[in-house]
C-alpha cells in the first residue's frame, strides 16, 4: 500500500536513529548531532503520514509530498544500515594490527557516510519546509470536510451483464465455497481497481446466500473501528442487540456464540490502494 510503504519504513528507521543516540555511539559526536536533527524532523513528518493513511483521497500536492518522503526514507534507511554495519563490524575485529589496518580503511568510509547522513538531514529539513510552503497540512484538514462516495457502492449494484467473462469466475467461486469437504472456507478476490471484483462477489453472494442459516455483506475500511464493524455485523446477521456488549471482546464473544452451530456466509469487501 502506498502509505504503508512509507510508514512501514519510517517506523524502523526512527528506531534505528534512536539506537544511534544511545551510549554505544556517543563517540561519534558529529554524526550523533546530525542524527538527532534528522530524527526530530522525521518525527514531525510521521504524524501527518499517519493521518494520510486514514484517507481514501488526497490532494495532488499531498500525494507528491508523500511520494517524496517515501523515496527519501528508503535512502535514509539504507544509509543508516550501512553506518551501523560498519560500527558492528569494527567491534567484532580482533588483534591490534588488524584493528588498526581496518580502522584506517574505514575512516574514508565513515567520513562518506557521515557526509551522507548530513545530506539526508538537510533533505528532511527541506521536506518539512516544503510541507509548510505548500500548506500540505491544510490540504489534509480540508479533505476531511469533503464527503466522498465510496466507489464500491456503485459496484454492488452494477449489472453483471456489463462484465465480460464473469460466468466462469462466478461458477469457480461457487464451487469453492460450496465444497462440503471443508467446514471453514476463506476465499479472496484480488485485482486492480475496475475489474469488477465487488460486482462478482455480489453475484456469488446473491446466488448462494440463501443456502446458509445467516449471511452478511460488509464493507471494511483500511482502518476500521472494530466495535462499529462488529456491531454492524451483528445487526446484519439478525442478532438481538445486547445491552452488555461494551468492549471489543464482548462483541467477539457474542458473535462466536451466535455462529457456533450455524452455517454462515460472511462477505467482506475493502478498497486498498496499491503502489507498484
Rounded to two decimals, what is the model's pTM?
0.48
Give the separation between CA 164 and CA 161, rounded to whole angstroms: 7
Average pLDDT over residues 66-80: 87
Instruction: Reply yes or no on whether the pLDDT at 245 is more than 70.
Output: no
Instruction: Reply yes or no on whether the pLDDT at 191 is more than 50.
Output: yes
Q: What is the DSSP string of 26-80?
A: TT-HHHHHHHHHHHHHHHHHHHHHHHHHT-S---HHHHHHHHHHHHHHHHHHHHH
* pLDDT at position 98: 55
* pLDDT at position 258: 92
Q: Which grid coordinates belong to 222?
A: 483500511
Give the separation between CA 77 and CA 113, rounded to whole angstroms: 12
Q: Which grid coordinates belong to 171?
A: 461458477
Q: Are 81 and 120 in contact (CB under 8 A)?
A: no
Q: Any idea which residue has 517515501 for its cell?
A: 70
User: pLDDT tens-digit profile of 96-110?
Assistant: 555 555 565 566 666
- Domain segments of the chain: what residues? 2-143, 151-269
* pLDDT at position 193: 65
Q: Which grid coordinates belong to 77?
A: 534507511
Q: What is the DSSP string of 152-209?
A: HHHHHTS-GGGSTT-HHHHHHHHHHHT-TT-SS--------TTS-HHHHHHHHHHHHG
* pLDDT at position 126: 92
Q: Any idea which residue has 446477521 for its cell?
A: 237
Amino acid at each position: 500500500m502506498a502509505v504503508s510503504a512509507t510508514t512501514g519504513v519510517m517506523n524502523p528507521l526512527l528506531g534505528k536513529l534512536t539506537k544511534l543516540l544511545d551510549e554505544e555511539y556517543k563517540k561519534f559526536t558529529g554524526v550523533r548531532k546530525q542524527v538527532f536533527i534528522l530524527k526530530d524532523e522525521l518525527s514531525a513528518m510521521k504524524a501527518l503520514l499517519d493521518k494520510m493513511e486514514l484517507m481514501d483521497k488526497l490532494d495532488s500536492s499531498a500525494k507528491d509530498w508523500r511520494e517524496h518522503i517515501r523515496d527519501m526514507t528508503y535512502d535514509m534507511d539504507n544509509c543508516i544500515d550501512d553506518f551501523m554495519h560498519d560500527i558492528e563490524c569494527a567491534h567484532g575485529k580482533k588483534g591490534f594490527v588488524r584493528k588498526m589496518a581496518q580502522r584506517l580503511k574505514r575512516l574514508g568510509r565513515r567520513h562518506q557516510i557521515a557526509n551522507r547522513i548530513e545530506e539526508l538531514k538537510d533533505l528532511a529539513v527541506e521536506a518539512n519546509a516544503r510541507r509548510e510552503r505548500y500548506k500540505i497540512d491544510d490540504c489534509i484538514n480540508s479533505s476531511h470536510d469533503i464527503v466522498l462516495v465510496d466507489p464500491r457502492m456503485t459496484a454492488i449494484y452494477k449489472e453483471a451483464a456489463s462484465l465480460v467473462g464473469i460466468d466462469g469466475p462466478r461458477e469457480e467461486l461457487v464451487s469453492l465455497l460450496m465444497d462440503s469437504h471443508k467446514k471453514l472456507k476463506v476465499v479472496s478476490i484480488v485485482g486492480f481497481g475496475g475489474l469488477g471484483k465487488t460486482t462478482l462477489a455480489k453475484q456469488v453472494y446473491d446466488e448462494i446466500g440463501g443456502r446458509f442459516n445467516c449471511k452478511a455483506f460488509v464493507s471494511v475500511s483500511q482502518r476500521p473501528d472494530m466495535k462499529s464493524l462488529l456491531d454492524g455485523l451483528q445487526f446484519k446477521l439478525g442478532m438481538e442487540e445486547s445491552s452488555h456488549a461494551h468492549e471489543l471482546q464482548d462483541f467477539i464473544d457474542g458473535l462466536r456464540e451466535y455462529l457456533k452451530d450455524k452455517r454462515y456466509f460472511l462477505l467482506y469487501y475493502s478498497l486498498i490502494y496499491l503502489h507498484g
